[in-house]
Structure 1
C-alpha cells in the first residue's frame, strides 16, 4: 500500500498533468481563434489577440480557483465548528463572492479586447 507521501506525490503529478493539458487546450483554442493563415511570423494583430486570449483564460482560471478554495475553506471550517458556521452563513457568503466575481469579470471584459 502506498504511503501518504507517495499518495501526495501522485496527486501532485496528476495535478501537474491536468494543468499542462489545460494550457495545451487553451493555447490551441487561442491559436485557432487568432491566427488566420499561419506564416513564418505572427502579425501584430495576431500577437495581440493571442496575448488577450491567453490573459483572459488565465484571469478566469485564477478567479475560479480563488472561489473554489474559498468555498472549500468555508466548508472545512464549518465541519470543524458547525455551531459557528451555519449553512445559511456559507450560502450568504457564497452569493456575495459570486456577485463580486461577476462584477470583476464584467470590468475586465470592458477593459480588454475580448476574443471569442
Structure 2
C-alpha cells in the first residue's frame, strides 16, 4: 500500500470534507426541526430567520468546542 505524503494529505482532506458535510446535514436537520414550525413559504419569517441564525451559531460553537477537546486528547 502506498503511504506517500500526498496520499495521506488527500485522505485527510477527504475526511475533513466528509466531517463538514455531516455537520452541515446535522445542523440543517436540527435547526430546521427546531425553527420551522409551519409550512414554509417563499421566504422565512423574521422569527424563523432569527431562530435559524441562533441555532446555527450555537451548533457551530459547540462543534468548535468538541473539535478542540478532541485535538487536546491526541
After TM superposition, the score normalised by the length of structure 1 is 0.56
Distance (Å, rounded) in 1 between the aligned partners of 2:35 and 2:14: 31
Distance (Å, rounded) in 2 between the aligned partners of 1:71 and 1:10: 21
Displaced runs of 4 or more, over 3 A: none
Distance (Å, rounded) in 1 between the aligned partners of 2:64 and 2:16: 15
Displacement of 1:70 in angstroms is: 2.1
Displacement of 1:55 in angstroms is: 0.5
Counterpart of 2:72 in structure 1 is: 70
Displacement of 1:29 in angstroms is: 1.5
Aligned length: 72
Displacement of 1:4 in angstroms is: 2.8
Counterpart of 2:61 in structure 1 is: 59
* Structure 2 spans left out of the alignment, 5+ residues: none
Distance (Å, rounded) in 2 between the aligned partners of 1:25 and 1:67: 20
Report the RMSD for the aligned CA atoms in angstroms.
Answer: 1.3
Displacement of 1:24 in angstroms is: 1.5
Counterpart of 2:5 in structure 1 is: 4
SS at match of 2:67: helix
